[in-house]
Amino acid sequence: MRIAITGISHETNTFSHVPADYEAFVNSRIVRGDEIVREFNESHSTIAGFLQAADELGFEAVPLVFARTGPIGTITSDAYERLTAEMVQLLKDRGPWDAVLLANHGAAVSEEYHDADGETAARVRAAVGPDVPIGQALDQHVNLTQKMVENVTVTTVYRTTPHLDPKPRARECAEMIYRTVRGEIHPVQALETPPVIINILKHFTGEEPMKGLMADAEAVAQRPGMLSASVAEGYPYADVPEMGMAFLAVADGDEAAARDAARWMAKRAWDRRAEFVGDTPSPEEALKHADAAPKGPICLMDVGDNIGGGSSADSTILLAAAKKLGIGDMLQSLYDPEAVSQCLAAGVGSDLTLKVGGKTDDMHGKPVEVTGHVRVISDGKFEELEPIHGGFRFFDGGTMVALDTTDGHTLVLTSRRVGNTSRQQMYSLGIRPERYKIVVAKGVMSPRPAYAPIAAEIVMVNTPGVTTSDLSFFDYKRRRRPLYPFEKDAKYE
């Protein structure tokens, strides 16, 4: 049994000003053939789960091409066409296939296609024909669409946010496809998309309400004849008609059972929609709270500058507020290639005054003047072996500088945008985040597995920015209406 593995993984923040062009994918690496195995085999990612299934079930996995880039803005038409053309050509040239496994994200938007993952699934379906089973293992932030579902045979969605289970979910997807090829099962999928979006602050699956919704999915999956059940949180920063939560059930041959199961999950969630709305302290309130805490580190989640959600990674809102309040003993990263160059020119061990952060756009604060000491400079590469959000292993922040300011801040200046999902980012520079009273992590959920083990407390902060939890900040043009909580009178029958 020969099964192709391929994918384009992008979470598109349509409010971001940074386009996902072909170069952005190249810079984040497009991997092909055996490179894919080398990159992901030892990781905890989706592709690792596909490869694990191949090993354990005994099918031949043929990795073709996998492209991803950090969650930034809309995928350019050129990038989308080039990436899908390569994928489709490889599927045609290297076939015939017994099946195809897709490692897409599910919240990709291109200039032309607001449902880019649906379009990709349709192109893959067209390339291999109607009879070849296709499985897709998607991120829990997928804005799941009918087009995505109807063009594939089975869909699985991560069941954890932060995402600690891409590998087992992908393995589950691959096993269903394997059994489908063998004629053991006949999956049918049913999708329900009630008009509701859950605030990013409520995405943590370890707490209510998501904890209960995931328990519902697990209960559904245990029903006789059910193969799988998923809850997608949706991605509120993609302004597309399908933006919102989704509930998917996969049954063995019984369409009515799948439909019932999906509706049951969706109805139960809908009845709890008032719990999906977020509420958080302001930067000043959060900083004062952290400063007054008996012990640290207090991990402040910079929600408005969620690097994993497509933000600029250079917000100075918390830095500026801390300086104004006279609060130090604080660690954070800032994307600022210009400041990195200035520090490089000055050299390790030198002191300098420079402006940092707030340079990408006008949504994340202004550049802040600091005077500091260049403690260390690194090539920015670090490796994580623990299972962290997304399951990735290799990271590259470009040249990175640790700068200790005269007023007690340690700034990790990076020349590439890299999320705060691994503490190795700090250890690789000789920085011990454990020793700081306040650690800022630019994200909402994704830094949690990295920082929860050392944090005395995690506080979500209502910072402005392109990923702010305050969705009234955005001017939505394409989302469906009514959609709860924007329109409180939205109905779901």
Task: Kindly state the smallest distance separating residue 61's Cβ from Zn ion, in Å.
Answer: 24
State which residue, 163 or 437, has the beta carbon closest to Zn ion: 163
State which residue, 372 or 465, has the beta carbon closest to Zn ion: 465
State which residue, 62 or 444, has the beta carbon closest to Zn ion: 444
CA distance 302 to 440: 7
298 forms beta bridges with 438, 457
CB contact set of 345 (below 8 Å; sequence gap of 6+): none
- Give the x-and-dash track for 37-76 against Zn ion (CB under 5 A): ----------------------------------------
Q: Which residue is nearest to Zn ion (CB)?
A: 141
Q: Cβ(329)–Cβ(437) under 8 Å?
A: yes
Which among 321, 316, 350, 363 has a CA at the least distance from the CA of 335?
A: 316
Number of residues that bind Zn ion (CB under 5 A): 2
Task: Kindly state the smallest distance separating residue 45's Cβ from Zn ion, in Å.
Answer: 12
State which residue, 141 or 167, has the beta carbon closest to Zn ion: 141
Options 117-125, 136-144, 257-265, 480-488: segment touching Zn ion (CB under 5 A): 136-144
In angstroms, how far is CA 170 from the centroid of its own chain?
A: 16
Task: Kindly state the smallest distance separating residue 10's Cβ from Zn ion, in Å.
Answer: 11
Q: Cβ(463)–Cβ(303) under 8 Å?
A: yes
- The half-sphere exposure of 217 on its side-chain side, counting CA atoms within 13 A, is 25
- Give the x-and-dash track for 137-176 against Zn ion (CB under 5 A): --x-x-----------------------------------
State which residue, 141 or 417, has the beta carbon closest to Zn ion: 141
State which residue, 59 or 276, has the beta carbon closest to Zn ion: 276
What torsion, rounded to 10 degrees, do the Cα atoms 298, 303, 308, 313 define?
-90
Task: Kindly state the smallest distance separating residue 120's Cβ from Zn ion, in Å.
Answer: 17
Handedness of CA 258, 253, 177, 100 (dihedral sign): negative
CA distance 67 to 25: 6
State which residue, 105 or 179, has the beta carbon closest to Zn ion: 105
C-alpha separations of 470 from 200, 237, 274, 368 in Å: 9, 11, 15, 24
C-alpha separations of 97 from 3, 124, 127, 128, 236 in Å: 6, 12, 11, 8, 36
Report if residue 117 touches Zn ion, rule: CB under 5 A. Answer: no
CB contact set of 58 (below 8 Å; sequence gap of 6+): 1
Options 17-25, 133-141, 203-211, 419-427: segment touching Zn ion (CB under 5 A): 133-141
State which residue, 139 or 291, has the beta carbon closest to Zn ion: 139
Task: Kindly state the smallest distance separating residue 163's Cβ from Zn ion, in Å.
Answer: 6
Which among 352, 316, 354, 323 has a CA at the least distance from the CA of 338?
A: 354
Task: Kindly state the smallest distance separating residue 210's Cβ from Zn ion, in Å.
Answer: 13
Task: Kindly state the smallest distance separating residue 438's Cβ from Zn ion, in Å.
Answer: 26
Which among 262, 259, 252, 204 has a CA at the least distance from the CA of 231?
A: 262
Task: Kindly state the smallest distance separating residue 381's Cβ from Zn ion, in Å.
Answer: 24
Main-chain phi, psi angles of 288, to 5 degrees: -65, -40
Task: Kindly state the smallest distance separating residue 139's Cβ from Zn ion, in Å.
Answer: 4
Task: Kindly state the smallest distance separating residue 14's Cβ from Zn ion, in Å.
Answer: 16
State which residue, 194 or 419, has the beta carbon closest to Zn ion: 419
Binding site for Zn ion (CB under 5 A): 139, 141
